[in-house]
Amino acid sequence: QVQLTESGGGLVQPGGSLRLSCAASEAIFIPYSMVWYRQPPGKRRDLIASITTGGSTNYADSVKGRFTVSLDTAERTGYLQMSSLKAEDTAVYYCSVWDGGEEYWGKGTQVTVSS
């Protein structure tokens, strides 16, 4: 069973940047998609970005132009580069992987944007 571990969360000031990582415990058969979600306090979990092993990316309007998703299949790690962070970006961030047969989830990492 593949395990995903997110890291890189923390406290950052508005306008700052963070890079989240999502590391898989073992190899995942290509092709697959990695999807990033976030769940603000008291709200639902929303999809914010995705990337396929083929390199296709998609972003929610709320993060487009500020967040960049990438994937290093050799390192079994995906990244979410977040810039120009706002208070409303405060949330628990999750990654998931869908390989066409199984879906795997991480436990999340907290991002807090506050001065």
Kindly tell me if the per-residue pLDDT of 28 is higher than 90: no
Predicted local distance difference test score (pLDDT) of residue 31: 87
Percent of the chain with pLDDT over 90: 90
63 neighbors 85 (Cβ within 8 angstroms) = no
Angle CA 79–39–103, to nearest 5 = 60
Q: What share of the chain is helix, strand, coil (3-state, %, to 5)?
A: 5, 50, 45
Average pLDDT of the residues in 9-34: 94
What is the per-residue pLDDT across 63-110, written as a single tens digit (0 to 9) for each? 999 999 999 999 999 999 999 999 999 999 999 999 888 899 999 999
Q: Taking Cα atoms as reference points, which of 79, 81, 59, 77 lies closest to residue 68?
A: 81
Sequence-distant (≥ 6) Cβ neighbours of residue 102 within 8 angstroms = 2
List beta partners, residue 52: 33
Helix, coil or strand: residue 32 = coil
